[in-house]
């Protein structure tokens, strides 16, 4: 949920949870971490991509409950400090995440699943999906699951492209750092931010494709 938080100043400098900037967070020296990474690289080359998508409420989930959940989320620390409100928020968040999904009530999830499948085919790597909000699995659960299945290297790739939003700059970044704490011997990289030149090329190609359709 976008809480209007500022951009994490370390994002961009820290693309991997095993950077020297984070060594104190994990209680290990950079030399020890490098040794673990080397052991990981020698023991297995299994890499998995976790596509970090935004998530959307299903169309048949009561809109008033979505509005209430967003209100409780935006209240931030005030809700966190009141047990009844915190429990209410958590109940609604879990309810909407675990709501039964179909192609009819969640076209966004269908699109993300299709994107993950096509990306997997292009890369020749397994691609899993995690959601920042409104849908399961969470990004944390998606990372934990692929590691439980044997992944030794995880690349977390957000579907949101432009900088400045709290989802990619703060929330997903924090989820990656927390995953690093849970799995200190696994290489977990956050593939963010996207280079401006690549974004310009992507958007320019899309505009050019539509310009070609305009009658001369």
How far, in Å, CA of 182 to CA of 178, rounded? Answer: 7
Segment 107-127 mean pLDDT: 97
How far, in Å, CA of 151 to CA of 80, rounded? Answer: 34
Confidence at 213, pLDDT banded by 50, 70, 90: confident
Residue 190 has what pLDDT?
A: 98
* Same-domain check for residues 194 and 119: yes
* Same-domain check for residues 83 and 139: no
Residue 216 counted as domain residue: no
pLDDT exceeds cutoff 80 at 131: yes
* Same-domain check for residues 40 and 141: yes
* Same-domain check for residues 200 and 141: yes
Residue 32 counted as domain residue: yes
Confidence at 7, pLDDT banded by 50, 70, 90: very low
Which structural domain range is residue 150 located in?
A: 20-59+107-211
Q: Name which of 150, 159, 153 is nearest 48 in CA terms.
A: 153
Q: Which two tokens stand for residue 42?
A: 């020698």
Q: How many domains does the chain have?
A: 2
Helices (H), the chain: 23-26, 30-43, 63-74, 77-80, 83-97, 107-123, 139-148, 166, 172-182, 196-211
Q: What is the mean pLDDT of the chain?
A: 83
* Same-domain check for residues 72 and 48: no
* Same-domain check for residues 89 and 118: no
Residue 3 counted as domain residue: no
Residue 72 counted as domain residue: yes
* Same-domain check for residues 44 and 89: no
In the chain, pLDDT over 90 holds for what percent of residues?
68
Q: Residues 54-102: pLDDT tens digits?
A: 999 999 999 999 999 999 888 877 887 888 898 988 999 999 999 999 9
* Same-domain check for residues 147 and 51: yes
* Same-domain check for residues 137 and 89: no
* Same-domain check for residues 79 and 165: no
How far, in Å, CA of 156 to CA of 132, rounded? Answer: 12
- For 49, list phi and psi in degrees, rounded to 5: -95, 135
* Same-domain check for residues 128 and 175: yes
Q: What is the CATH number of the domain that holds 41?
A: 3.40.50.1400
Q: Which two tokens stand for residue 216?
A: 């001369």
Which of residues 103 and 28 earns the better pLDDT score? 103
pLDDT exceeds cutoff 90 at 140: yes
Sequence length of the chain is 216
Q: Residue 194 gets which letter from DSSP? A: P
Residue 164 has what pLDDT?
A: 94
Which of residues 137 and 28 earns the better pLDDT score? 137
């Amino acid at each position: 949920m976008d809480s209007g938080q500022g951009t994490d100043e370390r994002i961009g400098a820290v693309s991997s949870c095993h950077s020297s900037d984070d060594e104190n967070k994990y209680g290990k020296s950079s030399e020890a971490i490098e040794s673990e990474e080397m052991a990981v690289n020698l023991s297995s080359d299994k890499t998995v991509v976790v596509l970090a998508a935004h998530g959307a409420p299903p169309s048949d989930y009561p809109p008033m409950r979505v509005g209430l959940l967003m209100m409780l989320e935006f209240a931030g620390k005030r809700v966190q400090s009141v047990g009844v409100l915190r429990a209410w928020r958590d109940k609604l968040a879990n309810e909407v995440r675990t709501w039964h999904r179909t192609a009819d009530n969640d076209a966004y999830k269908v699109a993300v699943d299709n994107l993950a499948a096509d990306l997997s085919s292009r890369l020749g790597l397994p691609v899993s999906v995690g959601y920042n909000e409104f849908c399961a699995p969470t990004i944390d659960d998606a990372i934990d699951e692929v590691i439980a299945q044997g992944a030794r290297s995880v690349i977390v790739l957000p579907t949101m492209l432009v900088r400045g939003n709290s989802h990619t700059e703060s929330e997903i970044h924090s989820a990656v750092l927390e995953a690093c704490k849970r799995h200190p011997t696994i290489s977990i990289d956050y593939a963010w931010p996207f280079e401006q030149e690549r974004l310009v090329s992507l958007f320019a190609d899309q505009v050019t494709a539509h310009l070609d359709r305009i009658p001369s």
